[in-house]
Amino acid sequence: MDVLTLSRLQFAITSMFHFIFVPLTLGLSILTAFMETRYVITGDTTYLKMTKFWGKLFLINFALGVVTGITMEFQFGMNWAEYSRYVGDIFGAPLAIEATVAFFLESVFIGLWIFGWNKVSKKVHAVSIWLVALATNLSALWILLANGWMQHPVGYVLRNNRAEMVDFMALITNPDGLLKFAHQLTSGYTVASFFVMGVSAWHLLRKNETDFFIRSFRIAATFGLVSTIAVGIFGDMSAVEVAKVQPTKFAAMESVWESKHGVGMNLLLLPDPPNECNSVEGVCVPNAVSILAFHDPNALIKGLKEFPPELRPPVLPTFISFRLMAGLGTYFILASLAAVILSRWGKIENQKLLLTLLLYSLPLPYLANFLGWVVAEVGRQPWIVYGVLKTSDAVSKSISLSQVIGSLVGFTLLYGFLGVVDIYLLAKFARKGPDNDLTTMLKPRGQEA
């Protein structure tokens, strides 16, 4: 193990850990804001209880997402100094803008929302959670524009021994960044929908607070159906973009070795990278890969053999992650469709099978998020900036093996411990169910005792 490998491992561990919390934040902030808005408009206190209950889970999740985010920003300089020096002129901008435009808004108004229940009017309070939701989503936009630039670098020239920004508009209209943003946002909404449906299912199976959880379930199911369909649409558009600008990644996603027109999709497939072929191929859907890539049944797909081996990404993890992710995405659409139908027109509290299925499906959208990022990041290798800078040239020169081992072990232990505590608290408050004592919720505070 060298500094490069361990630095990659550390970035993978810390970003994936950070990413346990981010997708739920993206979606649950919107659901909580929606519930509070319904309360303000209708005055129905069930919506107030919903806001408090789901809001509490949102906050326990949110805290760890925020604090682990700082590691992400610092690590570029710590472990990837050559990268930071080489591309900082263009890559630093979206990160700095994210902090200025989005992160301030989010962190100031989350404080107002948590502690301001009786300090500001109902409307201002509801507006503050909408601002938090807006800000978390804006954060994602800038981070994904930064990542989009790594996938498809635009708006720069190589000058003064580095990549310098020459076209800011190109950076912020980069289709790779914008499509990733849309795909990620709706994936986050999917995580939140399945989280709310899963927790609600747990209570409905026990006949706890049935009215409260049926209504929560319905909101999440509708939000989930729209989101899961959108994930698929934006995912498809992203795949077209990948086929266009990152041919090596696309070939690895589909495990295509030979260049060919009208490539079909084998439902059964096992790549054999050492022999540069697939050891198993079967149940072929004709022309499907060509259609997926260019929306054209006869399109030419460049195979991996077209590229020298040192410029190909690891095929197995890219291929398997993509397949699994796409499969899960399809399942999510079907599951939320069933959830919408049975919660609108049937007695969802009696649908034991679907409820059990949704309860155990709670972690699956998280898994799909991880797999998507494996496709994006592993599939981009050996490049850190596609076609511009190799990952192996990006790592810091001044750090030693013992330093990276120390930080890797330290982060893993600390994150592991905090993750366990956080999940324990989430489970504890999720099981407890809503607080029905509205008197303490509505008592004014900040006045003379």
Partner 1 sequence: MGLQITWFILWGVLWAVYFMLDGFVMGAGILHNLIGKSDGDKRVMINTIGPIWEGNEVWLVTAGGVTFAAFPTTYALMFSYLYSALFLLLCALIVRGVSYEFRSKEESTTWRKGWDTAIMLGNFLPALLFGVAFGNIFEGLPMDAAGYHGSLLSLLNPYGLLTGLLFVALFVVHGALYLTVKSTGDLSKRSQATADKLWPGLLLVAVAFLVYTNFATKLYDNYLAHPLLMIVPALAVVSLLAIRILSAKGNPLAAFTASSLTILLVVGTAITGLFPNLIPSSIDPSSSLTLYNSSSSPYTLQIMLLVVAVFIPIIIGYKIWVYRIFRAPVREEEVLADKQAY
- List binders of partner 1 among 8-67 (CB under 8 A): 52, 56, 59-60, 63-64, 66-67
SS3 281: strand
Pinpoint the alpha helices (H) of 98-209. 104-115, 122-151, 168-172, 175-205
CB of 82 to partner 1, least distance (A): 7
Q: Which residues lie across from 285 on neighbouring strands?
A: 265
CB of 47 to partner 1, least distance (A): 16
Please identify, using beta-carbon distances, which residue of 159 and 261 lies nearer to partner 1: 159
Instruction: Specify the residue for token string 């985010």.
Output: 69
SS3 296: coil
Please give the size of the binding site for partner 1, defined by CB under 8 A. 82
Instruction: Specify the residue for token string 């682990």.
Output: 68
Task: Return the CA Rg of the chain.
Answer: 23
Scan residues 377-406 and list those touching partner 1 (CB under 8 A).
Answer: 396-399, 403, 406
Q: What tokens appear for 407 in the block?
A: 């930080």
Distance CA 108, CA 360 (A): 35
Q: What tokens appear for 60 in the block?
A: 């326990």
Site string for partner 1, 323-342 (x = CB under 8 A): --------------------
Scan residues 141-180 and list those touching partner 1 (CB under 8 A).
Answer: 159-160, 162, 164-166, 168
Scan residues 68-107 and list those touching partner 1 (CB under 8 A).
Answer: 68-71, 73-74, 76-79, 81-85, 87-93, 95-101, 103-105, 107
With CB under 8 A as the contact rule, the residue among 414, 420, 438, 442 that binds partner 1 is 414
Helix axis angle for 364-378 and 3-42, nearest 10°, is 140
Q: Residue 315 in contact with residue 378, Cβ under 8 Å?
A: no
With CB under 8 A as the contact rule, the residue among 418, 423, 427, 433 that binds partner 1 is 418
Quote the longest CA-to-CA distance of the chain: 78
CB of 81 to partner 1, least distance (A): 4
CB of 32 to partner 1, least distance (A): 13
Q: Residue 224 in contact with residue 325, Cβ under 8 Å?
A: no
Please confirm whether the linkage preceding 382 is cis (ω < 30° from 0): yes
Scan residues 307-326 and list those touching partner 1 (CB under 8 A).
Answer: none
Scan residues 181-200 and list those touching partner 1 (CB under 8 A).
Answer: none
With CB under 8 A as the contact rule, the residue among 43, 111, 327, 416 that binds partner 1 is 111
Q: What tokens appear for 256 in the block?
A: 């295509």
With CB under 8 A as the contact rule, the residue among 26, 112, 256, 430 that binds partner 1 is 112
Examine residue 119 and tell whether it contacts partner 1 (CB under 8 A). yes
Q: Which residues lie across from 268 on neighbouring strands?
A: 282
Q: Residue 132 in contact with residue 123, Cβ under 8 Å?
A: no
With CB under 8 A as the contact rule, the residue among 110, 179, 220, 355 that binds partner 1 is 110
CB of 412 to partner 1, least distance (A): 12
With CB under 8 A as the contact rule, the residue among 282, 327, 346, 410 that binds partner 1 is 410
